[in-house]
Amino acid sequence: MSPERPLEVADPERRTRAISAIGLEKSYGRGDRRVKVLDGIDLTVERGTVFSLLGPNGAGKTTAVRILATLADADGGTARVAGYDVRTQRRQVRRAVSLTGQFASVDEKQTGEENLRMMARLGGLSRPAARRRAAELLERFDLTAAGRRLTGTYSGGMRRRLDLAAGLVGEPEVIFLDEPTTGLDPRSRQELWRVVRDLSAGGSTVFLTTQYLEEADQLADRIAVLDGGRLVAEGTAAELKSRVSGHRLDVVVADAAAYERLAPLAVQRSADTLTLGLPTDGTATRVRALLDEIDPERRDVVSFTVHSASLDDVFMALTGRAKTTKEPTHV
Amino acid sequence: MSDAATMSPGGRALNNSLVMTARSLRLSSRNVDAVFTSLMLPIMLMLIFVYLFGGAISTGTGEPYVAYVVPGVLLLCAGFGSSGTAVSVNEDMKGGIIDRLRSLDVAGAAILAGHVASSAVRNVVSTVLVLGVALLIGFRPTPTLPGALAAAGLLLAFIIAISWLAAAVGLLTGSPEAAGAFSFFMMFLTYPSSTFAPIATMPSWIHGFAYNQPVTPVIESLRGLLLNQPVGTDPWVALAWCGGILLVAVGLSGRLFRNRTA
Ligand SMILES: Nc1ncnc2c1ncn2[C@@H]1O[C@H](COP(=O)(O)OP(=O)(O)O)[C@@H](O)[C@H]1O
Ligand SMILES: [Mg+2]
C-alpha cells in the first residue's frame, strides 16, 4: 500500500469506517451538454449500520452507489469502502462489497439455483462448495421450492430476493442495495424490509437508496437526502422529521392577486385551480394560526383541506423549493 | 471462505472464462429456436443451390456442385451461428448482469471469452451437422489426414475470429435486433466470394473486392484441402486474415466494453 495520504493522517478513523467519502463529483456528457450529476458529496457510514440515501428520480443515487461499489469512477473526491480506496484498491473493495442494482442481475434463462451456483463459482468456490452455498442462500431467502425453476417465471418479489441472494455469495461486509423495493407490491416490500433487517442484525453494513421516505424511516439508522447531486440533509429519521412539518394545508384562494401574494410560501401550487399547499404540523391550533396569518382579513381563502406530507413536502422543507423532477441543470 | 483470494490471477481468469462459457452454453441450449434457425438457413441454402441452381452453375472443376459449395456453406453457417453471439452480448449489456459480474470482479475479457468459446462449441456442432447433410446428398471429400486437420484448424480459427468480431458488434449496437443484423453482414461477405460460384463468372468490377476479401481465401483453402488439391498460399492468407480480424476484434471489444461500463 502506498504511504499515508494526507486525508488518512487527518482522519485515522476513515480506515475503520464501512464507508467514508469526501467530495465525490461526477459529470456525464461532453461539451455544453455536460451535466454535473454529483456535486461534492460527503458520506460516512459506520460499520454494522443501515444507511439510506433518499432522493427523487435523477438525484444521482445510482451514480453514487456505482462509484462506491467501484463500477464507475468519480471525477473528483475520494472514497474508502470497507477500509479500501475505491480508486486504487478496486479489487479489495470488490471482494468486500456487493451491489444489487435497480435492474435484474440474474439470467432469466437460468434457474435460481444455477444463477447462484454460477455466482459462487465466480466468487472462487469449488463446485461442491458452490452447490452448498446456493442451497443455503435459497433456503435463507425462502426460494428453495422455486430453485429449480427458470427465474423468468419468478414474481417481482422473488426476483428481487434472488438478486439479493446473488449478491451475498461472497459474504460481503458492505451491501449496497439500489432502490430494492421500487416497483414491488406492498407485501413483497415488507418481505424485503425483513431481509434487510436480518442482514443488519447479522452484522453487515447496508447502504440502500430509495425514493420513499417511509422506507428510509423504517430501515435506516441514518438518512442522507440527495437532491440534484447535492446532499441537502443528513441525520436520523427522527432528526429529519423534526425539520419537516409533517402535514400540508391546501387552500383555495379567491383570486389571482391573492394567489400571487401567497405563492412564495407554498410547497405546491396550482394556478388553474388557485390552490396552494402550505407546510404545517396538522394540529388545529397551528392550522388556525396559519390561516389567520396568511389571510388576516378573512377574505382570500375560500376553502381548505389538510393532507399528510409527501416526499415533495419533505424536499420543500429541506431545500426551500419544490422537488426537481426535471433533469439537473447544465454546468 | 473464498478460494478466490488464493487463486493465481491466471487461474482465476481461466476459471471465470470457463464458468462464463458454461453459462453461455446453458443459455444457448435454452434458446434452441435461435440455434436451430441459424443452422437451418445455411442447410436450406445448400440444398437450394445444389438442387435448384447447381445445374446452371459451371464451376469448371469437374467436381459435382455439392463439393464446390460445401466450404462456403460451412462459412455461412459460422457467420449465422456467431450472429447469435452478437445478440447475446448485446442483451447482456442491457441488463444488470454485467454490473453483477463486474462487482464479482469478473473481467470483461472473461465475459466475452465465455461468449466466444460457447459460439465455437455451437459452431463445431453445426459444422458436423452440415457436413453430415452434405455427405447424405453426395459430398465425397478426399482429404489427406494433415489436410483434414489443417482444414479443421482453419475453420476453427475463422469461427473464433468472427465470433469475437460478433461480440464487438454486440457491444457496438444499440439493440439485439441491430446486433442480429451481423448475419446479413456475413451474408453480404459470402455472396461476392467463391462461395456459390467462381468469381471469374462475376462482373469484373467486383473482382477486386471478391478476390481480396477474407472469406475467399478461407473458402479456397477449405475447398482445396478437403478435395486434396493444391492450395498455394491461400491457407496462409486465410490465417493472416483470421489473426488480423481477431486482433482488431479483441482490441475493439475491450475498448467498447470499457466505454460502455465506465
Ligand atoms: N451513463 C450516463 N450517461 C449520461 N447521463 C447519465 C448516466 N447515468 C446517469 N445519468 C444522468 O445522471 C442523473 C442521475 O442519475 P442516477 O444516478 O441514475 O439518479 P437516480 O438513481 O437517483 O435516479 C440523471 O439525470 C441521469 O440522466
Ligand atoms: Mg437509480
User: Is residue A197 included in any domain, yes or no?
Assistant: yes
A236 and A259 inside one domain: no
Chain A closest CA to B109's CA: distance in Å?
Answer: 14
CB atoms within 10 A of CB B190: 23
Number of helices (H) and strands (E) in chain B: give both, helices first: 11, 0
A166 and A269 inside one domain: no
Burial of A202 (0-12, 13-18, 19+ CB in 10 A): exposed
Q: DSSP for B185-229, please give it.
A: HHHHHHTTTTTTS-GGGS-GGGHHHHHHSTHHHHHHHHHHHHTT-
A80 and A210 inside one domain: yes
A161 and A300 inside one domain: no
- Tally of residues, chain B: 262
Helix (H) or strand (E) holding A78: strand A76-81
Q: What band does B195 get if pLDDT is binned at 50, 70 and 90?
A: confident
β-partners of residue A278 are A249
pLDDT at A329 over 50: no
* Cα–Cα–Cα angle for B193, B199, B201, rounded to 5 degrees: 140
A192 and A269 inside one domain: no
Q: How many domains does chain A contain in total? A: 2
From A124, which residue of chain B is nearest by alpha-carbon distance?
Answer: B4
Cell 475470429, located at residue: B161
* pLDDT tens, residue by residue, B87-109: 999 999 988 899 899 988 899 99
User: Is residue A234 included in any domain, yes or no?
Assistant: yes
User: Is residue A76 included in any domain, yes or no?
Assistant: yes
ipTM: 0.88
pLDDT at A328 over 50: no
Quick one: which ligand is closest to A182's CA? 2
Is B3 in Cβ contact with A126 (below 8 Å)? yes
User: Is residue A328 included in any domain, yes or no?
Assistant: no
Query: Among A98-112, A162-176, B192-206, which is the least confidently predicted range?
Result: B192-206
CB atoms within 10 A of CB A72: 19
Backbone angles phi, psi at A30, to 5 degrees: -125, 160
Q: Which pLDDT value is given to residue B179? A: 92
Give the CATH number for residue A225.
3.40.50.300
Ligand 1 centroid from CA A63, angstroms: 6
**In chain B, where the domains are located:** 2-261
A32 and A110 inside one domain: yes
A87 and A176 inside one domain: yes
Is B15 in Cβ contact with A123 (below 8 Å)? no
Q: Which pLDDT value is given to residue A320? A: 61
Asked if B30 contacts B88 with a C-beta cutoff of 8 angstroms, the reply is: no
Distances (CA, A) of A312 to A55, A148, A180: 10, 43, 21
User: Is residue A6 included in any domain, yes or no?
Assistant: no
Q: Which pLDDT value is given to residue B184? A: 84
Q: Which atom of ligand 1 is nearest to the CA of A102?
A: 21
Q: Which domain holds residue A249?
A: 245-308
A226 and A249 inside one domain: no
pLDDT at A224 over 80: yes
Q: B261, B171, B116, B97: which is closest to A122 by C-alpha? A: B97
pLDDT at B28 over 80: yes
